[in-house]
Amino acid sequence: MDHLVSPSLLAADFGNLGKDIKMVNNSAADWLHLDIMDGVFVPNISFGFPVLEFVRKLSEKPLDVHLMIIDPDRYLSRFRDAGASILTVQYEACNHLQRTVTEIKELGMKAGVALNPHTPVTHLKNTLPYIDMVLIMTVNPGFGGQKFIAESYNKILEMRDMIDTGGYETLIEVDGGIDTGNAAKLIKSGVNVLVAGNSVFSSANPSDTILRLKNLT
């Protein structure tokens, strides 16, 4: 499978959100990534259902929604109704992870599980058969524009080995400090989906940056 690119809306211009969504629509991007933060699980607050519903009306790309919130089970159906196509929960926020990912899939969405930098990939060994995508956070979650954690490469390689050994079709997504300088190595390490925020929306030509990320091999 060719790798996918999912620009992160967290880095977009919220004073002109429609323009940035239109840019993504017309670009080579595959998905549109949205980070939902509650100010409790992570030290930041982003946006909620009204913004997500607004984005769904404008976006022609599937919405790749990452929940950085406590007790996500309370809101799974609401995120489906608001337009999420892929819904990712944090491993660290779920007491009954297998039940959570099963419910996400029963609601008709793809189920993802995110791992913070300190969380070993082996924690997903028994849940991996139920997961459509693993999001490996390559920065500590909460804020955009952080520096990529280099140790993430080893974590990605370990996750890729677990997936391949088990014969699963689980995708590996990465988020945090992703740009055209490290994306090629990430793809070679086994990454399927690149999330890029600042490197896209802060560039002189965001659409061209997305295309460059998409064309990397």
pLDDT by 10-residue block (mean), the chain, 217 residues = 92 94 98 96 90 97 97 97 98 96 98 97 96 96 79 97 97 96 96 96 97 93
Fold held by 4-215: TIM Barrel (3.20.20)
Per-residue pLDDT at 61: 98
The pLDDT value recorded for residue 141 is 79
Distance CA 187, CA 181 (A): 12
Q: Which of 30, 35, 64, 132 is catalytic?
A: 35
Stated pTM of the model: 0.96
Please say if 38 is a catalytic residue: no
Domain ranges for the chain: 4-215
Q: What is the pLDDT of residue 43?
A: 84
Q: Which of 20, 64, 132, 175 is catalytic?
A: 175
pLDDT of residue 145: 67
161 a catalytic residue: no
Spatial neighbors of 146 by CB under 8 A, at least 6 apart, are 139, 140, 176, 177
Burial of 122 (0-12, 13-18, 19+ CB in 10 A): exposed
What's at 103, amino acid-wise?
E
DSSP state of 29: -
